[in-house]
Amino acid sequence: MLRKLNGIVIKNIKFSESDRILTVFTKERGKVSILAKKANSPKRKIITQTAMFVWSEFMCYPGKNMYTLRSADYIKGFYKIENDLERLMYASYIAELIDIFYDEELGETITFNLLAFTLKLIEDEKIENLSYITLAFMLKLLGICGFLPSMENCIVCNEKKSDIYYLDRVNGGIICGNCKSRDSYLKQLNDVQLKLLKELIHIKLKDLRDKDFLSVPKKSGEYLITVFDDYIVYTLGRKTNTYKLLCQMIGF
Ligand SMILES: [Zn+2]
């Protein structure tokens, strides 16, 4: 039976000379794989609709391991992303994060909305803010999936006031300087960084538009991406390929 799926292309890989496999994060069924036969043939008129970061309505037939595409209607693209290497790298990282967080046929509409809105921000906002937007995305994705570490008090002694905290990826929370043991693997967080994290956890995505992060050094946003990438790799046991490239490009 033909099925209508509304989604954003987060991966597009070559399957054979003329066919491609799309990974699409959909509103209806979360992450799905779709075989697009003769995807690059102009006759099929699906080149634009199946490109990376394009939001389309896909008409497909369910199969054993994946769907097969019949036709696709273009809904929306985020074209400025492709024209700027920095925007492209952040967007690629976000798309790959979604891919490693979800198995096939898993995912919620709220994640779809998070993805669509974040891509819009990555497309429109000033370059200096992309690291904060990406960080907000990571925290919200962790929150949706129930993996957000506890960041209110030290998870050992419950202390709220400390000059320095550490993110304990094993126990999923922050610990204060007094409770830090010497041999544990911990990433340091200062006051400003912790405040930023708490703000980004609660912020509405639309409030990230034209937001000023003047009180936070730019390096902090980038550093926190490395902290939370490490946390995600540890928690999921999966990593993205894009992260290294992103680090090389941004220089963190
Ligand atoms: Zn403590």
Query: Tens digit of pLDDT for each residue in 42-72?
Result: 888 898 999 999 999 999 999 999 999 999 9
The residue out of 39, 57, 76 marking a domain boundary is: 76
β pairing state of 186-190 and 164-168: antiparallel
> What would the pLDDT profile of 171-216 be if each residue is shown by its tens digit?
999 999 888 877 667 899 999 999 999 999 999 999 999 999 888 8
> Do 52 and 106 fall into the same domain?
no
Q: How far is the CA of 177 from the centre of ligand 1 (A)?
A: 7
The average confidence (pLDDT) of the chain is 94
Supply φ then ψ for residue 251, to 5 degrees: 85, 40
The residue out of 43, 58, 76 marking a domain boundary is: 76
> Do 124 and 174 fall into the same domain?
yes
> What would the pLDDT profile of 136-168 be if each residue is shown by its tens digit?
999 999 999 999 999 999 999 988 888 889 999
Q: Domain containing 142 — which CATH number?
A: 1.20.1440.120
| pLDDT reported for residue 180 | 87
Q: How far is the CA of 175 from the centre of ligand 1 (A)?
A: 5
| pLDDT reported for residue 40 | 84
> Do 127 and 238 fall into the same domain?
yes
Please give the C-alpha separations between residue 199 and each of 44, 132, 133, 140, in angstroms, as whole numbers: 46, 11, 12, 11
**What's the domain count of the chain?**
2
pTM of the model: 0.95
- Name the band, by pLDDT with cuts 50, 70 and 90, for residue 123: very high
The residue out of 44, 76, 108 marking a domain boundary is: 76
Core vs surface per residue 151-171: b (16+ CB within 10 A) or e: bebbbbeeeeebeebbbbbee
Q: Which residue has the tokens 């998870």?
A: 155
Q: How far is the CA of 143 from the centre of ligand 1 (A)?
A: 23
> Do 72 and 95 fall into the same domain?
no
Contact criterion met (CB below 8 Å) for 202 and 218 = no
Domain range spanning residue 70?
A: 3-76
Report which DSSP code applies to 171.
T
Contact criterion met (CB below 8 Å) for 215 and 194 = no
> Do 88 and 121 fall into the same domain?
yes
Give me the amino acid identity at 208: L
| pLDDT reported for residue 110 | 97
Q: Domain containing 27 — which CATH number?
A: 2.40.50.140
